[in-house]
Amino acid sequence: MAKVALITGVNGITGSAILDHLVKYTTEEEWRRIIITSRTPLTLSVQDPRVELIALDFSKPVDVLAQDMSPLCTEVTHAYFSSYVHKDSFAELNAANRSLFENFLEALLLVTGTSLQNCTLQTGGKYYNVHLQPVPTPAREDQPRLVTSNETFITTRKTS
């Protein structure tokens, strides 16, 4: 069965790279639909009939997001969250981005039911706290994060 992708933050570096990969290197038999989201007007041009745009703002309440997502997102099998909002204060940045992801995930789970197979949260250097102090290089996937009192917005939560 062909997969259905949902890519958030498609105007950003990561979101556009995920979209570029799916458009260039996959077929319709593999990925039947590629749904992309952006809070702001789209800055790129995509020539692929599988791509559908939905304007979403993940700072909205979960029930509003679920209603906005439901026309296109009920069949999503794979979600790629790469949305991000910048704030000058680290505490504000954490709170804002945590809220974006939590709203997205809760709305997505309401809309997709059992179709969702995977949700990927794109993290960057802030997850490892590289903005606070140097980290050993080369960085390795199994390296622990630097623990600080100023934790990043991403928390690990196991789900059943």
40 in a structural domain:
yes
| Count: domains in the chain | 1
* Mean pLDDT on 1-9: 96
Return the H-helix or E-strand segment holding 121.
strand 118-121
158 in a structural domain:
no
Rounded to an integer, what distance in angstroms lies between the CA atom of residue 60 and that of residue 106?
12
Write out pLDDT tens, residues 146-160: 666 555 555 544 443
Write out pLDDT tens, residues 125-152: 666 667 777 777 887 778 776 666 555 5
Residue 16: which CATH number? 3.40.50.720
Write out pLDDT tens, residues 73-101: 999 999 999 998 888 887 788 888 889 99
C-alpha closest to that of 66 among 30, 111, 116, 31? 111
153 near 105, Cβ under 8 Å?
no
End-to-end C-alpha distance for the chain, whole angstroms? 24
Tell me the two tokens of residue 115. Answer: 């179709």
57 in a structural domain:
yes
133 in a structural domain:
no
pLDDT score of 111 more than 50:
yes
| Mean pLDDT over the full length of the chain | 87
58 in a structural domain:
yes
Helices and strands (H, E) in the chain, number of each type: 3, 5
Output phi, psi for 80, to 5 deg: -125, 105
In percent, the amount of the chain with pLDDT more than 70 equals: 86
Rounded to an integer, what distance in angstroms lies between the CA atom of residue 5 and that of residue 144?
30
